Amino acid sequence: MADEEFKLVKAAQAGSHSALEGLVRIIQDRIHRLAMRMLANPDDALEATQEILILVVTKLSTFKGESAFNTWLYRVATNYLLTARKIQQRDLGLTFEMFGEDLESGLVDPAPAADDVVMLNELRISCTMAMLLCLDHKHRIAYVLGDILEFDHSEAAEILEISHANYRKRLSRARGEVVAFTATRCGLANAKAKCSCPRRLPAALKARRVDPEQIRFAAGDAPGYQEVVAMAQKIERELTVLKLQTATSSLSSPRDFGTSIARIVEGEVH
C-alpha cells in the first residue's frame, strides 16, 4: 500500500486528476478516524475531515519525501485539529470530574435488564468517545496517536514535531488520566463502579444523548455490547492470572556457576 500510495502522490503532484481522486479515497478514512477520536461529534468530525483533505490537496506540492507520506499526512491533520479556530471555539472545557458527575446523574437502581443491546452499545461508544474530550488538545492527540491509532512513539513525536521524551511524557499523563477515570467510573472496567450502561441508558435516552432514530456509533463494524462485556471480563481474568503468575521473587540462581562452568569448559578443552 505504501508503494501504491507513493505512486499516487507523485502522479497527483504531476497533475493527474484521477491520481488525486484515488489518493483522497485512500486517505479519507484515516483522517476521519482521527477527527472522530479528537472531536467525538460526528458532524464536527465530517466537517474537519473535509477541511483537512482540502489542506492535504493544496499542500501536496510541498511534500518532498523527506519523511513517510503517512507521517506528513498526519502532521497536516493534527496541525489543523490543534490550531483551527472553529475547533477551539467549540471546545466544551470538559473535565473528568464534570464528566463523571454527569454520568452518575439519573442512574436507575436496580439496573434494568440489558435487553436493548444496540442502544447500550451506542451509549458505550458515545461515552468512550466523549471521555477523551476531558483531555486538553495536546494530551488528547498524544493519546489518540499512541494508544488508539497505535503509532510508534518516534513517529508520533515526529508527527507532532516534539521531542521523543516530550511525547512520552504527554502520552503517559494522558493515559494515566484516562485509565484512572475508567477504572473508577466505568462499570465495564470495574463492576463496583456506580455507572453502568444499563443503569445510565434511561437518562441518556431522556436527555437525547443517544437517539434510537439516529444510530451514529453502534452501526457498521463496531463490536457488539455483549461481545465487549465478555471481552472486558476475559481481559480482567487474564490480567489477574498474569499478575499472580508474575508476582514472584526474581528467581535468581541460588548457586554461582561462574567458576564451576569455567572449570568444566576448561576441562573439556584440555
Stretch 143-172: mean pLDDT, rounded?
Answer: 97
Q: Do domains 1-91 and 92-211 have the same CATH topology?
A: no
- The pLDDT value given to residue 172: 97
Specify the pLDDT at position 181.
Answer: 96
pLDDT exceeds 90 at position 60: yes
Q: How confident is the model at residue 111 (pLDDT cuts 50, 70, 90)?
A: confident
The CATH T-level fold of domain 1-91 is Rna Polymerase Sigma Factor; Chain: A (1.10.1740)
Compute how many other C-beta atoms are within 10 angstroms of the C-beta atom of residue 60: 17
The residues spanned by each domain of the chain are 1-91, 92-211
pLDDT confidence of residue 80:
97
Please tell me the distance from the alpha carbon of residue 110 to that of residue 87, in angstroms, as a whole number.
39
Return the pLDDT at 1. Answer: 55
Q: Among 99-103, 135-139, 236-240, where is mean pLDDT lowest?
A: 236-240
211-240 pLDDT, tens per residue? 999 999 998 899 999 999 999 999 988 988
Average pLDDT of span 85-91: 92
For the chain, the average pLDDT equals: 92
Mean pLDDT of 120-149: 96
Mean pLDDT of 108-131: 88
pTM above 0.75, yes or no: yes
Specify the CATH number of the domain 92-211. Answer: 1.10.10.10
Asked whether residue 270 carries a pLDDT value surpassing 60, the answer given is: no
Contact yes or no for 196/188 (Cβ under 8 A): yes
Residue 14 pLDDT grade (very low, low, confident, very high; cuts 50, 70, 90): very high
Residue 259 has pLDDT above 90, yes or no: no
**DSSP conformation letters of the chain:** -HHHHHHHHHHHHTT-HHHHHHHHHHHHHHHHHHHHHHH--HHHHHHHHHHHHHHHHHHGGG--SSS-HHHHHHHHHHHHHHH-HHHHHH-----HHHHHHHHTTT--SSPPP---HHHHHHHHHHHHHHHGGGS-HHHHHHHIIIIIS---HHHHHHHHTS-HHHHHHHHHHHHHHHHHHHHHHBTTT-TTSSB-HHHHHHHHHHTTSS-TT---SSSTTPPPHHHHHHHHHHHHHHHHHHHHHH-S-----SS--HHHHHHHHHHHH-
The whole-number pLDDT of residue 268 equals 65
Rounded average pLDDT over 7-28 = 94
